[in-house]
């Protein structure tokens, strides 16, 4: 019988992190898993979780790469595991986590070029360029706000290949080098308090701190998971 995977979550230091609280509630209800591993910070209210402390002295991109490597190198973390963020919510029950991607990187670049610039977009360019040198002429983007299945050796190989990039898109590098394939979906991140609309029937949702705290999507998520779960002090 195949073992259900662990959930691995990088958590930044000092955050109250109500998004994590509700993400944990959603995973406990809807996403089959063995253990939850918090990498970096563990809030005082979090119980029944595994914890790997890390030093968070770099950018958020560097810190999450440190967390990823720590998970891959820890012998007790399942292989594969599911890489999650603390703002990813599973709204309906799934049997197993599918592999999902966002379509070709070139199309995702065009989306961001029309809206922003900066380190994240430069990292996207650099990660695609690296993949092209490694034989992936039209790579897929795996930079979605949904959990991602990760094999330890493949991810460590990807981190080694991209170690010179200051903003490594590690999900994308790993997904292409490991030839994960998967199904294309749109990203589910809700950026604003009053979005154009989100699908309450969607299995996956993700928020920004403001859209979670003050937006209609945050109200919907909090309403969906009112009760404390086994990962909260006083929960069950």
Across the chain, which has 236 residues, the per-10-residue mean pLDDT values are 88 86 98 98 96 93 96 98 97 97 97 87 97 97 98 98 97 98 96 76 94 94 96 82
Residue 65: per-residue pLDDT: 97
> Is the separation of the CB atoms in 19 and 209 below 8 Å?
yes
Question: H or E segment at 184?
Answer: strand 183-184
CATH topology of domain 7-224: Spore Coat Polysaccharide Biosynthesis Protein SpsA; Chain A (3.90.550)
Distance CA(31)–CA(53), nearest Å, equals: 24
In the chain, what are the domain boundaries?
7-224
Which pTM value belongs to this model?
0.94
Give the pLDDT score at 192: 82
CA 194/CA 31 separation, integer angstroms: 28
DSSP 23: H
């Amino acid at each position: 019988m195949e073992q259900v995977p662990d959930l691995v979550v990088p958590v930044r230091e000092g955050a109250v992190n109500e998004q994590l609280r509700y993400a944990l509630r959603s995973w406990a209800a809807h996403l089959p898993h063995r253990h939850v591993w918090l990498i970096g910070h563990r809030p005082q209210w979090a119980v029944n979780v595994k914890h790997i402390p890390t030093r968070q002295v770099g950018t958020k991109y560097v810190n999450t790469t440190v967390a990823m490597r720590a998970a891959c190198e820890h012998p007790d973390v399942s292989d594969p595991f599911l890489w999650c963020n603390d703002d990813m919510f599973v709204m309906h029950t799934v049997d197993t986590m599918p592999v999902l991607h966002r379509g070709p990187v070139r199309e995702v670049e065009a989306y961001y070029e029309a809206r922003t610039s900066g380190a994240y977009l430069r990292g996207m360019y650099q990660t695609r360029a690296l993949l092209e040198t490694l034989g992936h002429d039209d790579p897929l983007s795996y930079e979605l706000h949904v959990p991602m299945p990760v094999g330890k050796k493949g991810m460590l190989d990807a981190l080694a290949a991209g170690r010179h990039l200051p903003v490594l898109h590690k999900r994308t590098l790993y997904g292409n080098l490991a030839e994960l394939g998967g199904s294309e979906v749109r990203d589910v991140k809700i950026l604003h308090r009053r979005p154009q609309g989100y699908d309450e029937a969607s299995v996956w949702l993700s928020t920004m701190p403001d859209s979670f705290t003050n937006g209609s999507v945050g109200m919907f998520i909090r309403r969906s998971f009112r009760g404390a779960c086994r990962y909260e002090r006083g929960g069950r």
